[in-house]
Amino acid sequence: MTSTEHVEGHPRKIDPDALFERLDDYMTRKGLRSTSQRRVIAETFFDSPKHVTIDELLAAVREREPRIGYATVYRTLKLFAECGIAAERNFGDGQTRYELSEEATDHHHDHLICNQCGRIIEFHDDRIEKLQEQVAKELGFDISSHKHEIYGDCNRTECVAEGRRKAPRR
Amino acid sequence: MTSTEHVEGHPRKIDPDALFERLDDYMTRKGLRSTSQRRVIAETFFDSPKHVTIDELLAAVREREPRIGYATVYRTLKLFAECGIAAERNFGDGQTRYELSEEATDHHHDHLICNQCGRIIEFHDDRIEKLQEQVAKELGFDISSHKHEIYGDCNRTECVAEGRRKAPRR
DNA sequence: GTATGTGCAAATGTTTTGCACGTAC
DNA sequence: GTACGTGCAAAACATTTGCACATAC
């Protein structure tokens, strides 16, 4: 067993019920309403591959409910982020992406992004986490979140073959 | 001596001549031209506090040359980034910021950003750098760059007093 | 002289907002 | 019934682009 773990960027087995509950609690607390749109968007989001863009999510949502609008998806994902079940990510390609938050998955991770094929791999290293806490402490900071992204070439044969198709803007 | 260092986000003593030379070399190599606008923008950028936005830079540039346009500053900073003297940064407030690149300053660093006052502190920790190389290596990645940003509250009395004025969107 | 650069305004792409209508509570 | 939510289109924002004119080489 090492202190580093990693995983490909795809949906992890989570318990949707717990997430719905968390969302409902938040909405009740804030006097917000449970609507069919919010339910559909939540279901779709929980089923989505990680790091979805609003466009991708909207397309998936519209397969179930074609009349749902752009703005609703934007607003709903902001809500999910506020309530703590979703996290906003920005990998420099100009589109905000969303994934389940670390509280929701009980699993903090950072990202390795391939410049060539755009593949996103998650990693987690306790030693790095500890050191970063130490750095912040020395400077008197209370950490609320962090972002650690490593960009590079993943060197898979498929990737080298594929070339630059999906590479994020760098 | 420890393996962590840090510094406030303000201009470090650099040698502008070396940077101009680097820029000139790049332009010559690429068949690009040395214009008065590019010179003024370069001078202003070298004198700027770190992490300037295009707006801030444009304002400073126009104090010297009021007729310089937005697009020119955008295009010129892209050029600086390509040539390796500037680095693009994005701290989640929707505006791209530029700072001298690590090659230009001979000093790689990462960032601690205060959620309350927006203050940006640079840090560098060799142990984290090493661990991150190790993680990438295990996954077969060749690192080209990385981004490590820690967000939190800096807890200075001034900051607590100032409140949320300049806080980046989070 | 010609290719490259500039300034302006218009276009682009993403995200946000105003508003009339709809709906949860 | 009322406050909140939705869909649409328009606005807002940062950034990029097209084009006529200017300028470095």
Q: Which nucleotides of D are covered by protein (CB under 7 A)?
A: 3-10, 13-18, 23-25
Selected for mutation to probe chain B from A116, A142, A148, A153 (highest B CB count within 10 Å) is A148
Residue that has been written with the tokens 């989070």 in this structure: B170
Give the lowest-confidence range in A39-48, A69-78, A112-121, B138-147: A112-121
Q: Is the pLDDT of residue A33 over 90?
A: yes
Looking at residue B167, what is its pLDDT? 39
Nearest CB among B4, B141, B152 relative to A153 is that of B141
- Give the span between the Cα atoms of A59 and A62, in whole angstroms: 5
Residue A106 pLDDT > 80, yes or no? no
Residue B106 has pLDDT above 70, yes or no: yes
pTM higher than the cut 0.85: no
Nearest chain A residue to B154 by CA distance is A141
Could you tell me the two tokens for B126? Answer: 């060799």
pLDDT above 90 for B70? yes
Query: Long-range contacts: A72-76, Cβ < 8 Å, 24+?
Result: A72/A37, A72/A41, A73/A41, A76/A37, A76/A38, A76/A41, A76/A42
Indicate whether B169 pLDDT > 50: no
Lookup: nucleotide whose C1' is closest to A66 CA: D7
Residue A170 has pLDDT above 50, yes or no: no
**Nearest nucleotide to A32, CA against C1' atoms:** D4
